[in-house]
Amino acid sequence: MGFLDLFGQWLEKRNEKRIEFAKSQGTCPECQGKGVNLLGMEQYTMSTFYVCSGCSGSGSFSDWVETN
Ligand SMILES: [Zn+2]
């Protein structure tokens, strides 16, 4: 087993944990329930808020499941 395989497994485990946590909280794992994602360097201005594509802005885990 190579290093990349191990790294891939680690990432997968990490992602699973993130999703499990989000599920227990009932929040979208992509935006942590905020409904928006921050993009780019100017993350302190409102113009860089984007409606989360995972949950369509609702921030709920069930909506995220539907779109994924
Ligand atoms: Zn979301």
Instruction: Mark the residues whose beta carbon lies below 5 A from ion ligand 1.
Output: 28, 30-31, 52, 54-55
- CA of residue 51 to ligand 1 center, whole Å: 8
Total domains present in the chain: 1
Which stretches within 1-68 are classed as H helix? 3-25, 61-67
Radius of gyration of the chain (CA): 14
Contacts by residues 49-57 (CB-CB < 8 Å, ≥ 24 positions apart): 52/28, 54/28, 54/29, 54/30, 55/28, 55/30, 55/31
27 alpha carbon – ligand 1 mean position (Å):
8
> What pLDDT was estimated at residue 45?
59
Domain region containing 47: 3-67
* pLDDT per residue as tens digits for the range 11-68: 999 999 999 999 999 999 999 999 988 765 455 555 567 889 899 999 999 999 999 8
Amino acid type, 17? K
